[in-house]
């Protein structure tokens, strides 16, 4: 177990995360997943946005890019299309992916480029101190929703599926072993894979919503998550406010980089033929 930590983490700790933050659990799940996947570290690209969660890129000993708020997928798109050999992971916050980066998110789903997008959903803007995000459940409190949010929230799983992602899963930081497995599966999937990692932010979310203790937040997750299999047997009413975890969706579709390679091969061949004819 320890070997995993030493290998994938840089020696520039301490990190910025608050005690009890769920981000570290997601990072360790990713490290374990990478260990299972066995890719050479030199071939892994980790791109992140801006937020507490996105600081992860600075801590992991991979090819890493900490981008701008919302833009991680845009950066990753250019890098991956040019260097398809890079095993690409993109870490984003809920605000990062679903608000400011929402447009890039749906278009990345649509293009189906082979990469794994991890959305760390702590239901809040953690880094800026607790404003509500498009994934904050209606009624929850935030510094900018002092009376409870009146906004409706996205269901990220439905959004990703609707936009064309070819693998969609949701895990959480209480079920860290399952989260690891989902990340492995997502990375092995050929195409754009989305893993929503429901995480705990005791400081900027818990404090305003009567669960200030990190352990209580984890227990809350334990008590309010149901697996995809369990959910299939439950009524809509029973599922109200439940977080459904596990693999939600997987399908096969043309992968963008492969399609690009095909186009380039075709057109280069045409070009050479035309060149030969010109010479005659």
Partner 1 sequence: MTEIKNKHVQLMQGNEACALGAIKAGASFFGGYPITPSTEIAEYIAREFPKLGRYFMQMEDEIASIGAMIGASMVGHKAFTATSGPGFSLMQELIGYAAVAEIPLVIIDVMRFGPSTGLPTMPQSGDIMQARWGTHGDHSIIALSPSSVQEAYYTTIRAFNLAEQYRTPVVVLLDEKIGHLREGFDISQDLEPEIINRADFVDKAATSAGGGKYLPFANTPSGVPPFVPLGQGERYHFTGLTHNQAGFYTADAEQVATFMHRLCHKIEDHVNEIAEVEQLDCAGADCVIIAYGAVARSAQEAMVELQSQGYKVGLLRLKTIWPFPAEQIREICADKKLVVMPEMNMGQLAVEAKAALIGSGVPFHSITQVNGRLIAPAPIMQAVIEQMAEHSVKQGGGR
Ligand X SMILES: Cc1ncc(C[n+]2csc(CCOP(=O)(O)OP(=O)(O)O)c2C)c(N)n1
CB of 103 to ligand X, least distance (A): 13
Binding-site partner at residue 96 among ligand X, Mg ion, ligand SF4, none, CB < 5 to 8 Å by type: ligand X
CB of 263 to partner 1, least distance (A): 5
Interactions with Mg ion, residue window 86-105 (CB under 5 A): 93-94
Please state, in angstroms and as integers, the Cα–Cα distance from residue 120 to each residue in 21, 52, 187, following that order: 11, 10, 16
Should residue 121 be labelled a site residue for partner 1 when binding is judged by CB under 8 A? no
Cβ distance to ligand SF4 smaller for residue 23 or 63: 23
Residue from 63, 112, 122, 136 in contact with ligand X (CB under 6 A): 122
Please name the helix (run of DSSP H) or strand (run of DSSP E) that holds residue 77, with its range, or none. helix 72-82
| Residue 247 Ramachandran class (φ > 0 left, ψ -120 to 50 alpha, else beta) | beta
Which of 77-85, 93-101, 158-166, 172-180 is the region at the interface with ligand X (rule: CB under 6 A)? Answer: 93-101
Q: What does the block give as tokens for 33?
A: 């997943």
Should residue 52 be labelled a site residue for ligand X when binding is judged by CB under 6 A? yes
Should residue 112 be labelled a site residue for partner 1 when binding is judged by CB under 8 A? no
Cβ distance to ligand SF4 smaller for residue 47 or 203: 203
Should residue 204 be labelled a site residue for Mg ion when binding is judged by CB under 5 A? no
CB of 52 to ligand SF4, least distance (A): 3
Cβ distance to ligand SF4 smaller for residue 22 or 191: 22
CB of 187 to ligand SF4, least distance (A): 24
| Residue 249 Ramachandran class (φ > 0 left, ψ -120 to 50 alpha, else beta) | beta
Q: What does the block give as tokens for 70?
A: 């919302």
φ and ψ at residue 108, rounded to 5 degrees: -65, -40
Should residue 66 be labelled a site residue for partner 1 when binding is judged by CB under 8 A? yes
Q: Smallest Cα–Cα separation from 139: which of 129, 121, 128, 153? A: 153
Binding-site partner at residue 204 among ligand SF4, Mg ion, partner 1, none, CB < 5 to 8 Å by type: ligand SF4
Should residue 202 be labelled a site residue for Mg ion when binding is judged by CB under 5 A? no
Q: What does the block give as tokens for 46?
A: 């980790």
CB burial string 235-255: b at 16+ within 10 A, e below:
eeeeeeeebbbbbbeeeeeeb
- What is the CB neighbour count within 10 angstroms for residue 6? 10
Should residue 80 be labelled a site residue for partner 1 when binding is judged by CB under 8 A? yes
Should residue 75 be labelled a site residue for ligand X when binding is judged by CB under 6 A? no
Percent helix, strand, coil in the chain, to 5, is 45, 20, 35
DSSP per-residue codes, 192-224:
EEEEEEE---TTTTGGGGT--SHHHHHHHHHHH
Q: What does the block give as tokens for 18?
A: 């608050």
Return residues touching ligand X (CB under 6 A). 50-53, 69, 93-96, 120, 122, 124-128, 133
Chain positions contacting partner 1, by CB under 8 A: 12, 41-43, 45, 47, 50, 57-58, 61-68, 71, 73-83, 86, 103-104, 107, 260, 263-264, 266-268, 270-271
Question: Contact residues for Mg ion (CB under 5 A)?
Answer: 93-94, 122, 126
């Amino acid at each position: 177990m320890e070997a995993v930590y030493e290998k994938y983490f840089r020696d520039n700790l301490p990190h910025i995360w608050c005690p009890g933050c769920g981000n570290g659990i997601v990072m360790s799940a990713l490290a374990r997943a990478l260990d299972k996947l066995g890719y050479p570290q030199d071939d892994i690209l980790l791109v992140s946005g801006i937020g507490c969660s996105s600081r992860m890129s600075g801590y992991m000993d991979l090819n890493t890019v900490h981008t701008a708020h919302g833009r991680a997928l845009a950066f990753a798109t250019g890098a991956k299309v040019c260097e398809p050999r890079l095993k690409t992971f993109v870490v984003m916050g809920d605000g990062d992916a679903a608000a400011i980066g929402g447009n890039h998110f749906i278009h990345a789903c649509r293009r189906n480029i082979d990469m794994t997008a991890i959305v760390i959903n702590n239901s809040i803007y953690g880094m800026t101190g607790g404003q509500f995000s498009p994934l904050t459940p209606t009624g929850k409190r935030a510094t900018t929703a002092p009376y409870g949010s009146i906004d409706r929230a996205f269901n990220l799983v439905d959004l990703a599926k609707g936009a064309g992602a070819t693998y969609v899963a949701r895990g959480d930081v209480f079920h860290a072993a399952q989260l690891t497995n989902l990340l492995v599966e997502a990375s092995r999937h050929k195409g754009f894979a989305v893993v929503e990692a429901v995480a705990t932010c005791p400081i900027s979310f818990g404090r305003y919503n009567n669960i200030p203790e990190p352990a209580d937040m984890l227990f809350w997750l334990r008590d309010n998550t149901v697996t995809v299999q369990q959910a299939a047997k439950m009524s809509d009413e029973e599922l109200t406010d439940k977080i459904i975890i596990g693999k939600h969706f997987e399908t096969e579709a043309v992968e963008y980089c492969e399609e690009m390679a095909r186009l380039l091969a075709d057109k280069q061949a045409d070009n050479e033929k035309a060149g030969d004819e010109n010479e005659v």
